[in-house]
C-alpha cells in the first residue's frame, strides 16, 4: 500500500468557532519542536476519543493517533503502582492539519483565567520533611539512587470551558520558550494544557531517541547570569543527578535498541523560569513503536532509579494516584514511506482540568543523596511557575530583549558542558559493533535493576551471547547451576545483609551454590559482588554516606581507574581477612583507610575457599555505567582472568 503524507502537513486556517462548539468532537492542538518539523506551526487534531486497555491496542494508521498515557499504565511492565483509574485515552484523528503559528496566535482567545482557592496539597515544610525521610530511609538504606516525589498545586477555575483551555494554550505559546511540546488536549472528560520540556521517546525510520533532562538552574530574582549558571554547572549534586538519569534511561535504550545506545550532549535547555541540563540518547530498533513505548515507561526523571523499586517508594510517600503526571502523550502514525513514527513528551509542567473546573498541576523534584530540602522545595515552585504564570497565579517571567544572546552560547558555558562530557565513558559515546561470532554464552541474573540490560550490551560487545533472566524466574537456579559459560550476578536495590528479605535469601543461596560448583566463571556486580563477598566471609556494612551515583578514582588491583558507584552497603576487609583470603587464592582491592572492598577476584587455580574449579570476580562499582571510564575493558579483563570461556551456545 502506498502511503501519502498526512493532511496535517497542509496549511489551513484555525476554525476556533468549531473548536469552541460543545457539540464538536474532542481536539488537540500541538506545537512540537520535533526535528524535521516546522516549529512555527500548530497542528490540529480532531476526532473521537475512546479508552484502550493496553498500549498494544493503540491504533496505528495513516492519520495520527494521540494517546494520553497515565502513570498507572506502568503496570504493563509488571511494576507496582497505585491504580487510580485514570484512563488510557485515545484520540483517533479524523482530521489533522497544520496552522501557521502567527495565525493561530491571532485566532486563539486571549483572556485571563481566574483560579480560586489555589495552593499546594503538601505544604513546603511537609515536603521538606519528606525529602529528609527519603534521603535517610530510602537512599540511605539502599533502595535506590534517586527518587521523584510529587506534590500538586490544586485549585478551581469557575465556569471553565473550551475557550479557557484555548486561552491557556495561547499564553503558554507566547510565554514558555524552550518547551519540546506545547499542547492543549480536550477529551470531553478532561483537559490537559502544558509545555513539557522533555522527550519521553521518539522513533522514526527505526531510530529511537530519548532525552534525559535533570539538574535545574532556578533563575535568580535579578534574572539569569552566566556567573550563576556556571556555579550551577559546577555543582556536584547537579552533575551526579544528570548522570544517574542518563544511566537509567540507557538501561531502557539497551532494552529497545538493537545495538545499545549512544549519548549525545550535554546541552542546556533554557526556559522562561529555569534552565535544565540534558543529554540525548540514540539507538536503532526493529521493535514495533508501541513496544518501544511500553518498554520505556517511564523516565527516571519523573520516577527515580531503579524504576521498579522507585514505583514502590512513590506509593509509600505520595497520597493518591498520579493521574497523567509523569505519564506521556504519544503521537503515533506513519511517515510517507509507511514506516511507523512515534513522538512522545513526558506529561510534566501540565495543568489537568476537569469539566467542573477542578485544577491540578503536579510537580516533583529529583531527590538524591546530596539534596537540600529547602532547595528541593524551591525547585518544585520553579517547575510549576510556567503553568502557574499562564493561569495568572504568579507573575509571568520577563521576555528576553530582542537580540539577547542565549546563556548556552557563552563560550564559558560551552566549556563547562564539554568538561562534563569528558567524564563519561567513551564506550557510550559511539555506536558499538559486536563481533561476527560469539565466543561463549553468559547468563545475567537481574535482581530488580535493569542495569543488566547495559551489562548485557557490554558483554555482547565483549564477544558473548547473553541471556538475561530475573532472579525469581521459575527454574532459574537449576539453569544457573548447569550453565557452562559465565554467570553474572547483577545489581539490585535493598540491604544484602537483611535475612528477612526473601529476595536476598534466594540470591545469597544462589551465590553460595555457584561458588561451590560452577565451572564457567562468576562475575558479581554491585549487589552480586556483595553476595560473593559475604560468602567469602566478609562482613557487609552500611556506608557512612551512600555512594549512589558517585564517580570516584580507585586503586583497582594496582591500577588507577575512575569508576561509578551505586551502593549504600559495602563489604569490609581488614588486614587479617585480606591475609586469610590471599592464602585461599583470593585477591582483594580495598580502600586502605576504610577497608571497603572495591573488587575481588580469584587467582589462577584457586579452589581453597569455595571448592569451585572456575574463576570468580566481583566489583562493587558498575562497569557498565557511563561513570566508569574504562568499564568495557575492565569487564574483558575480569572475564579473561577466569577460567577460559567454553565455546558453544550455552544452555
Query: Is pLDDT above 90 for 102?
Result: yes
**254 among known catalytic residues:** no
pLDDT given for residue 404 in this prediction: 65
Band of pLDDT at residue 11, cut at 50, 70 and 90 = low
CATH architecture of 7-421: 4-Layer Sandwich (3.60)
User: Could you tell me which residues come within 8 angstroms of residue 276 by beta carbon, excluding any fewer than 6 positions away?
Assistant: 197, 213, 214, 215, 216, 217, 268, 269
Query: Is pLDDT above 90 for 10?
Result: no
* Average confidence (pLDDT) over 581-601: 96
* Cell numbers linked to 195: 509545555
pLDDT given for residue 604 in this prediction: 56
pLDDT given for residue 399 in this prediction: 67
Give the tens place of pLDDT for each residue, 278-302: 999 999 999 999 999 999 999 889 9
| CATH code matching the domain that covers 430-641, chosen among 3.40.50.880, 3.40.1010.10, 3.90.950.20, 3.40.50.300 | 3.40.50.880
Question: What gap in Å lies between CA 64 and CA 60, rounded to an integer?
Answer: 7
Cα torsion at 641, 647, 648, 650 (round to 10°)?
A: -20
pLDDT given for residue 401 in this prediction: 59
- Locate the domains of the chain by residue range: 7-421, 430-641
User: What SS3 class is residue 636?
Assistant: helix
Query: Is pLDDT above 80 for 611?
Result: no
**278 among known catalytic residues:** no
Give the tens place of pLDDT for each residue, 524-534: 999 999 999 99
Strand-strand pairing, 487-489 and 441-446: parallel
pLDDT given for residue 651 in this prediction: 38
Mean pLDDT estimate for the chain: 91
pLDDT given for residue 608 in this prediction: 41
Question: What gap in Å lies between CA 427 and CA 564, rounded to an integer?
Answer: 14
**526 among known catalytic residues:** yes
Q: Is the peptide bond before 298 cis (omega within 30 degrees of 0)?
A: yes
Q: How many helical (H) and strand (E) elements, i.e. helices and strands, does the chain have? A: 16, 29
Q: Does the fold of domain 430-641 match that of domain 7-421?
A: no
Question: What gap in Å lies between CA 343 and CA 196, rounded to an integer?
Answer: 13
Give the tens place of pLDDT for each residue, 162-213: 999 999 999 999 998 889 999 999 999 999 999 999 999 999 999 999 999 8
Instruction: Name the active-site residue from 381, 526, 596, 598.
Output: 526
Please, is 494 exposed, middle or buried when counting C-beta atoms within 10 Å of its C-beta (0-12, 13-18, 19+)? buried
Count CB-CB contacts under 10 A for residue 474: 9
Band of pLDDT at residue 274, cut at 50, 70 and 90 = confident
Instruction: Name the active-site residue from 176, 278, 280, 624.
Output: 624
Please, is 22 exposed, middle or buried when counting C-beta atoms within 10 Å of its C-beta (0-12, 13-18, 19+)? exposed
* Cell numbers linked to 251: 538501561
Band of pLDDT at residue 272, cut at 50, 70 and 90 = confident
CB 624 within 8 A of CB 618: no
Give the tens place of pLDDT for each residue, 31-84: 999 988 888 999 999 999 999 999 999 999 889 999 999 999 999 999 999 999
* Average confidence (pLDDT) over 319-340: 94
| H helix intervals, 399-501 | 411-421, 451-461, 476-482
For cell 585477591, the residue is: 587
| Residue in 172, 273, 276, 277 with CA at minimum distance from that of residue 223 | 273
Strand-strand pairing, 88-92 and 27-32: unpaired
| Residue in 350, 245, 298 with CA at minimum distance from that of residue 71 | 298
Count CB-CB contacts under 10 A for residue 341: 18
* Burial 297-327, CB ≥16 within 10 A → b, else e: bbbbbbbbbbbbbbbbbbeebbeebbbbbbb
Give the tens place of pLDDT for each residue, 508-552: 999 999 999 998 999 999 999 999 999 999 999 999 999 999 999
Give the tens place of pLDDT for each residue, 21-45: 888 999 999 999 998 888 899 999 9
pTM of the model: 0.91
- Rg value, the chain, Cα: 26
Amino acid at each position: 500500500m502506498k502511503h501519502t503524507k498526512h493532511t496535517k502537513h497542509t496549511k489551513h486556517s484555525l476554525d476556533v468557532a468549531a473548536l469552541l462548539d460543545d457539540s464538536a468532537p474532542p481536539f488537540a492542538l500541538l506545537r512540537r519542536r520535533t526535528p524535521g518539523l516546522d516549529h512555527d506551526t500548530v497542528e490540529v487534531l480532531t476526532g473521537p476519543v475512546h479508552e484502550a486497555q493496553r498500549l498494544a491496542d493503540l491504533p496505528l494508521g495513516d492519520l495520527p493517533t494521540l494517546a494520553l498515557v497515565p502513570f498507572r499504565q506502568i503496570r504493563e511492565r509488571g511494576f507496582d503502582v497505585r491504580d487510580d483509574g485514570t484512563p488510557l485515552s485515545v484520540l483517533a484523528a479524523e482530521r489533522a492539519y497544520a496552522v501557521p503559528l502567527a495565525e493561530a496566535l491571532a485566532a486563539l482567545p486571549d483572556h485571563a483565567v481566574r483560579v480560586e482557592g489555589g495552593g499546594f496539597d503538601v505544604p513546603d515544610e511537609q515536603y521538606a520533611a519528606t525529602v529528609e525521610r527519603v534521603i535517610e530511609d530510602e537512599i540511605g538504606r539502599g533502595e535506590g539512587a534517586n527518587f521523584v516525589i510529587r506534590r500538586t498545586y490544586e485549585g478551581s477555575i469557575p465556569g471553565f470551558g473550551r475557550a479557557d483551555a484555548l486561552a491557556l494554550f495561547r499564553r503558554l505559546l507566547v510565554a514558555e520558550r524552550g518547551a519540546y511540546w506545547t499542547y492543549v488536549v480536550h477529551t470531553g472528560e478532561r483537559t490537559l494544557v502544558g509545555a513539557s520540556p522533555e522527550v519521553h521517546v521518539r522513533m522514526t525510520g527505526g531510530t529511537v531517541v530519548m532525552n534525559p533532562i535533570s539538574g535545574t538552574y532556578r533563575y535568580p530574582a535579578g534574572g539569569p547570569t552566566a556567573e550563576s549558571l556556571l556555579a550551577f554547572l559546577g555543582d556536584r549534586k547537579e552533575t551526579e543527578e544528570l548522570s544517574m538519569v542518563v544511566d537509567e534511561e540507557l538501561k531502557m535504550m539497551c532494552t529497545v535498541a538493537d545495538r545499545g545506545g549512544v549519548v549525545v550532549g550535554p546541552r542546556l535547555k533554557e526556559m522562561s523560569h529555569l534552565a535544565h541540563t540534558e543529554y540525548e540518547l540514540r539507538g536503532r530498533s526493529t521493535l514495533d513503536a508501541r513496544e518501544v513505548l511500553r518498554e520505556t515507561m517511564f523516565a527516571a526523571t519523573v520516577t527515580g532509579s531503579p524504576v521498579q523499586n522507585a514505583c514502590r517508594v512513590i506509593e509509600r510517600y505520595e497520597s493518591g494516584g498520579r493521574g497523567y503526571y509523569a505519564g506521556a502523550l504519544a503521537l503515533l502514525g506513519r511517515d510517507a514511506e509507511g514506516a511507523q513514527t512515534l513522538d512522545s513528551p513526558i506529561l510534566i509542567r501540565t495543568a489537568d482540568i476537569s469539566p467542573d473546573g477542578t485544577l491540578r498541576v503536579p510537580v516533583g523534584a529529583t531527590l538524591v543523596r546530596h539534596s537540600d530540602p529547602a532547595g528541593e522545595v524551591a525547585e518544585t515552585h520553579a517547575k510549576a511557575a510556567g503553568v502557574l504564570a499562564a493561569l495568572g497565579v504568579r507573575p509571568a517571567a520577563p521576555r528576553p530583549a530582542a537580540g539577547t544572546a542565549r546563556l548556552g552560547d557563552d563560550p564559558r558555558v560551552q566549556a563547562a558542558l564539554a568538561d562534563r562530557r569528558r567524564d563519561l565513558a567513551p564506550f557510550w559515546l559511539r555506536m558499538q559493533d559486536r563481533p561476527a561470532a560469539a565466543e561463549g554464552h553468559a547468563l545475567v541474573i537481574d535482581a530488580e535493576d535493569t542495569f543488566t540490560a547495559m551489562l548485557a550490551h557490554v558483554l555482547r560487545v565483549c564477544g558473548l551471547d547473553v541471556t538475561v533472566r530475573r532472579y525469581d524466574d521459575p527454574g532459574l537456579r537449576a539453569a544457573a547451576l548447569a550453565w557452562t559459560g559465565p554467570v553474572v550476578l547483577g545489581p539490585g536495590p535493598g540491604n544484602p545483609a537483611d535475612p528477612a528479605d526473601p529476595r536476598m535469601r534466594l540470591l545469597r543461596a544462589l551465590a553460595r551454590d555457584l561458588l561451590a560448583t560452577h565451572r564457567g566463571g562468576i562475575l558479581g556486580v554491585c549487589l552480586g559482588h556483595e553476595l560473593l563477598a559475604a560468602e567469602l566471609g566478609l562482613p557487609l556494612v552500611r556506608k557512612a554516606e551512600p555512594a549512589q551515583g558517585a564517580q570516584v578514582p580507585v586503586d583497582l588491583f594496582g591500577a588507577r581507574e575512575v569508576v561509578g558507584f551505586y551502593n549504600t552497603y559495602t563489604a569490609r576487609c581488614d588486614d587479617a581477612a585480606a591475609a586469610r583470603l590471599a592464602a585461599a587464592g583470593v585477591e582483594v582491592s580495598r580502600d586502605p583507610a576504610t577497608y571497603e572492598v572495591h573488587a575481588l577476584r580469584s587467582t589462577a587455580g584457586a579452589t581453597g575457599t569455595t571448592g569451585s574449579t572456575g574463576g570468580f570476580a566481583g566489583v562493587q562499582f558498575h562497569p557498565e555505567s557511563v561513570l566508569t571510564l574504562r568499564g568495557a575493558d575492565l569487564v574483558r579483563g575480569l572475564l579473561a582472568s577466569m577460567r577460559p570461556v567454553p565455546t558453544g551456545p550455552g544452555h
